[in-house]
Amino acid sequence: MFLARIFLAVVGVAYMFLGVWCASAPGQTSNSVGFDLQKGSGQSEFFVVYGGVELAWGLIFLLPLLMHDATRPLLIGCVLIHGLSVIFRAISFGLFSDIGTTTYVLAAVEWVIFLASAGLLAYVGFGTKTT
């Protein structure tokens, strides 16, 4: 479980970085993934969802460092979040054209996190043992 906690902490730090970056430079980050922010509502939505929610995910994935019993449930959450990201990203590649480089990089990172978290979950198992 130690390896799983370290992995989740790395994912958490990455989401903390992304959340702060999206909240502090929404124009730059939205442009890098092809978003065209509309003044007011669009800016607010990006700030909240890409800044606030990613920051929250970062904190959530850091929890196993303090709460060892949370490791397995959060590893399952990591698999679900990134597994669905992989599925929806693949569908989006079939639905939409003119996909930018940053989006492909994000897709690759999502695959890496999904495969690593799924592998760790398979290694530690789905049971309730927490040591």
Per residue of the chain (131 residues), give pLDDT as tens: 899 999 999 999 999 999 999 999 998 998 888 888 889 998 999 999 999 999 999 999 999 999 999 999 999 999 999 999 999 999 999 999 999 998 999 999 999 999 999 999 999 887 655 54
Residues 6+ apart with CB under 8 A from 52: 19, 23
Rg over CA atoms, the chain: 16
Q: How far apart (Å, rounded) are the C-alpha atoms in residues 74 and 59? A: 11
Q: What is the pLDDT of residues 62-94, one digit of tens each?
A: 999 999 999 999 999 999 999 999 999 999 999
Give the C-alpha separation, 62 to 17, whole Å.
13
Tokens 């929890």 correspond to 63
Total-model pTM? 0.88
Three-class SS state of 99? coil
In 3D space, the residue among 124, 117, 6, 110 whose CA is nearest the CA of residue 62 turns out to be 6
> What number of residues does the chain have?
131
